[in-house]
Amino acid sequence: MAVIHRTTVSPTKLELLTEWLPTRPWYRGGPTPVLEKSGGFRLDDPDGEVGIEFMVVTDASGPEPTAYLVPLTYRGAPLAGAERALVGTMEHGVLGTRWAYDGCHDPVLVTESLALIEGRAQAQAQSLTDTPDHEVTRACTGGPLPAAVAPAPAADDDTGTRVPLPQGLTLHVHRVLDASAPTPPEDALGHVAGVWQGQDGERARAVLMVLRGA
């Protein structure tokens, strides 16, 4: 069970993302993002070593506000071979130095994402300890899914990230969220959907991840 610490983090997550987001091919805003945390959820690492967070941030620097999904992992030591996936380091008031990674390149996040899709893991509230997030929904028509994955060469394009998996599967992580598409495509073998706070004050919903076959 992940424990949410009420403490300081320096630099903040939004400060890290302000530097990192413009380097991504799916980023659509201006040179300097204007970010607001809009939602998200967490997953538990069964080994209790890695923090797993799916953060939604809204950027107001472009022609219109854009919501991005940013899966992040937080580690107490560098992840070997994942230098290009490093978002940055932070000083945590309780846990010390934390290495923050783009979670699409972290095998712990990918493994637990598959567990969520298959119903073996429960989404947790972003800012509360031991509190399920029932606004996160999932479905799976394929299976059984891999119980563990090795680091995979995840690839970005202008809409999101593709994570190749065993069994000829691919996990598509939607980075630019589209509230007009709250249901998965017909070829989906599984998916996760979630909500965030829209600019109009209403809760917006979209598909966050889609599992597809070969």
Tens digit of pLDDT for each residue in 64-122? Answer: 999 999 999 999 999 998 999 999 999 876 677 999 999 999 999 999 999 999 999 99
Query: What is residue 152's predicted lDDT score, i.e. its pLDDT?
Result: 63
| CB contact at 8 A, 81 and 28 | no
3-class DSSP assignment, residue 129:
coil
pLDDT tens-place string over residues 101-117:
999 999 999 999 999 99
Both tokens of 152, joined, read: 């995979």
Closest of 81, 74, 69, 70 to residue 44, by C-alpha: 74
Cβ-Cβ contacts under 8 Å for 106 (sequence gap 6 or more): 50, 73, 79, 82, 85, 151
User: To which residue do tokens 């939602």 refer?
Assistant: 39
The pLDDT-based confidence of 1 (bands split at 50, 70, 90) is: low
Percent of the chain with pLDDT over 70: 93
Instruction: Work out the end-to-end distance of the chain between its first and last CA atoms, rounded to an integer number of angstroms.
Output: 34
25-53 as b/e: b if 16+ CB within 10 A: ebbbbeeebebebbbbbbbbbeeeebbbb
56, two tokens: 């939604």
The average pLDDT across 188-200 equals 92
Residues in the chain: 214
**Mean pLDDT, the chain, whole residue set:** 91
